[in-house]
Amino acid sequence: MSSIFGNKIKVSVFGQSHSKAIGVTIDGLPAGIEIDIDELQEFLNRRAPGNNEFSTKRKEADKPEFVSGLVNNTTCGAPLTALIYNTNQKSNDYKNIMDIPRPSHADYTAQVKYGGFQDVAGGGHFSGRLTAPLCVAGGIAKQILRQQGIEVFSHVSSIKNIKDDDLDKVNPDKDLLNKVINKPFPVFNDLKGDLMMKTIINAKSESDSVGGTVECVITGVKAGLGNPNFDGIENKISSIIFGIPAVKGIEFGNGFSSTLLFGSENNDEYYYDNDEIVTKTNNCGGILGGISNGMPIVFKVAFKPTPSIAKEQNSVSFKEKKDTKLVIKGRHDPCIVLRAVPCVEAAAAIAILDLI
């Protein structure tokens, strides 16, 4: 199950950081949907590495090759498979990971689980590179959802202690959000964005890294989507979001902040707005009992600081069975939050599409 997500549509991600290719198969897409390949590529470019000084210098075009499921760029009902060939691997950088696990990476846990047979190069199947095929699937899901009036937007809501302006959870401005997601640094408040960038650059210059949060809003979901118990919108979104490397938390609507409020403050009261039932506030993030209430679906995701840092760290040697020091070489993002923004959108789009 580990690399397959969904019930009605099945998104199956494969590949390792340095395997011949990475890719995705999407089973269950309706037939007759034309995919705008250029738009998809633009979406993928938002995630692609090598774009700026905040991300790894590994250069990959991340251009998917569709080997099945499309006829004239239109879905034909058969499973859609897209490959992205890996071209810019530097496997030599990873030789000693087999012996000395990087702190807070999956090196040690993979070593135990796979008994030394895991592909260590570039983090193997655990690499953030696997979010590229996730974004292929998510970019396609976004296009399908938009045809149904549903849109998904994310922004960097914080880097370390620097916070972006708050999203309007009740009436998010879609024009503004469309501009935000296409900024090189996707925030509402560019002054805050500048501070965030400085924070990242400073961390990098100190051979260190930082984390942050990504906020996501899904507009246009009508009331009645989702299910109670274990198949609600929150369950569905969280179970795919935790498939993105470095995610350590998720909250919907007010989330953890709602625990600081009285019920009378946190409850979202209903009223009629032109024959439509809406709420005055959106503290629940558009979800009640696992089911959408017609308000925007809002959630926030916590990304830990990139575990790969250039600073010397303590670790152990499996072979020598003793403590040792480790200096990580190679090309790494000092902050993965920026590139995670489209990944969060992709994951959310897949989750919602699977529920429709």
Contacts (CB under 8 A) with its own copies, residues 114-153:
114-119, 124-126, 130
Instruction: Give 279's strand partners.
Output: 270
Interface positions, 14-33, toward its own copies (CB under 8 A): 14-16, 19-23, 25, 27-28, 31-32
92 binds its own copies (CB under 8 A): no
Q: How far is Cα 330 from Cα 60, in angstroms, rounded to an integer?
A: 15
Is residue 5 involved in binding its own copies (CB under 8 A)? yes
Smallest distance from its own copies to CB 256, Å: 4
In the complex, the smallest distance separating the C-beta of residue 60 from its own copies, rounded to whole angstroms, is 15
* Residue 193 identity: G
Shortest Cβ 175–its own copies spacing (Å):
28
Applying CB under 8 A, which part among 40-48, 77-85, 169-177, 181-189 lies near its own copies?
A: 77-85
Give, as one character, the DSSP assignment of residue 17. T
Size of the site for its own copies (CB under 8 A): 141
The answer to whether 51 contacts its own copies (rule: CB under 8 A) is no
Nearest to its own copies of 13, 141 (CB atom):
13
Closest CA to 111 of 99, 121, 93: 99
CB of 129 to its own copies, least distance (A): 11
Structure tokens at 342: 């489209």
Cα–Cα separations (whole angstroms), residue 329 to 42, 94, 124, 333? 30, 8, 16, 12
From candidates 38, 92, 262, 274, binder to its own copies by CB under 8 A = 262
Task: Please report, for residues 116, 125, 212, 236, the alpha-carbon distance to residue 133 in angstroms, rounded to integers and kept in the order given.
Answer: 26, 12, 23, 19
Cβ pair 205, 334 in contact under 8 A? no
Question: Could you say which residues in the range 263-302 bind its own copies, by CB under 8 A?
Answer: 263-272, 275, 277, 279-280, 283-285, 288-294, 302
Cα 180 from Cα 153, distance rounded (Å): 9
In the bound state with its own copies, the residue whose beta carbon lies nearer, of 175 and 269, is: 269
56 binds its own copies per the rule CB under 8 A: no
Residues 6 or more apart in contact with residue 334 via CB below 8 angstroms: 54, 200, 201, 203, 204, 208, 209, 210, 306
* Non-local CB neighbours of 61 within 8 Å, separated by 6+ positions: 48, 87
Q: Which of residues 98 and 176 has its CB atom nearest to its own copies in the complex?
A: 98
Stretch that binds its own copies, among 40-48, 51-59, 80-88, 140-148 (CB under 8 A): 80-88
Q: Dihedral sign, CA of 71, 74, 75, 81?
A: positive
| 96 lies in the site for its own copies, by CB under 8 A | no
Q: Which of 208, 220, 331, 356 is in the footprint of its own copies by CB under 8 A? A: 208
Q: Per rule CB under 8 A, is residue 305 in the interface with its own copies?
A: yes
**For its own copies, the closer CB: 81 or 219:** 81
Query: 157 φ, ψ to 5°?
Result: -90, -20
